[in-house]
Amino acid sequence: MSAFRRIHGRRSWTSRIAAPLLLAAGSAFSQTPTEIAPAPGIGAKAPICPALANRFIPVGETIEARVVGLLDSAHLKPGKEIWLNSVYGEVDPECPMDANAVIYGHVTAASSSRNPDASELSLQFDHADCRGHARKEMKFWLVAVVAPPEDTRSVHDALPTGAGYIDDGWGSDQKLNPGGAPKFVRPGVVVGMKKLTLDPQGGPSCSARLTSTNRSVELGAGAVLVLAVPDAAH
| pLDDT reported for residue 2 | 55
Helices (H), the chain: 149-152, 165
Q: What residue segments make up the domains of the chain, in order of their start?
A: 5-228
Q: What is the largest CA-CA distance in the chain?
A: 59
| pLDDT reported for residue 122 | 98
Q: Rounded to whole angstroms, how far apart are CA atoms 114 and 94?
A: 45
Q: Identify the band that residue 129 occupies on the pLDDT scale cut at 50, 70 and 90.
A: very high
Phi then psi for residue 127, to 5 deg, are: -145, 155
What average pLDDT score do residues 224-230 get?
90
Percent helix / strand / coil, the chain, rounded to 5: 10, 35, 55
**Number of other CB atoms surrounding residue 134 within 10 Å:** 12
- pLDDT above 90: residue 172: no
- pLDDT above 60: residue 124: yes
Average pLDDT, the chain: 77
| pLDDT reported for residue 134 | 94
Phi then psi for residue 225, to 5 deg, are: -100, 125
| pLDDT reported for residue 216 | 96
Q: pTM here?
A: 0.76
| pLDDT reported for residue 113 | 93
| pLDDT reported for residue 119 | 97
Q: Which residues does residue 212 pair with via DSSP β-bridges, in sequence order? A: 119, 196
| pLDDT reported for residue 50 | 73
E-strand stretches of 81-192:
81-86, 90-91, 102-113, 118-130, 133-146, 184-185, 189-191
What average pLDDT score do residues 179-199 get?
91
Phi then psi for residue 202, to 5 deg, are: -90, -5
Q: Is 122 left (phi over 0), alpha (psi -120 to 50) or beta?
A: beta
| pLDDT reported for residue 223 | 94
Pair 62, 185: CB distance under 8 Å: yes
Q: Rounded to whole angstroms, how far apart are CA atoms 87 and 150?
A: 17
What average pLDDT score do residues 143-167 get?
59
Q: Identify the band that residue 32 occupies on the pLDDT scale cut at 50, 70 and 90.
A: very low
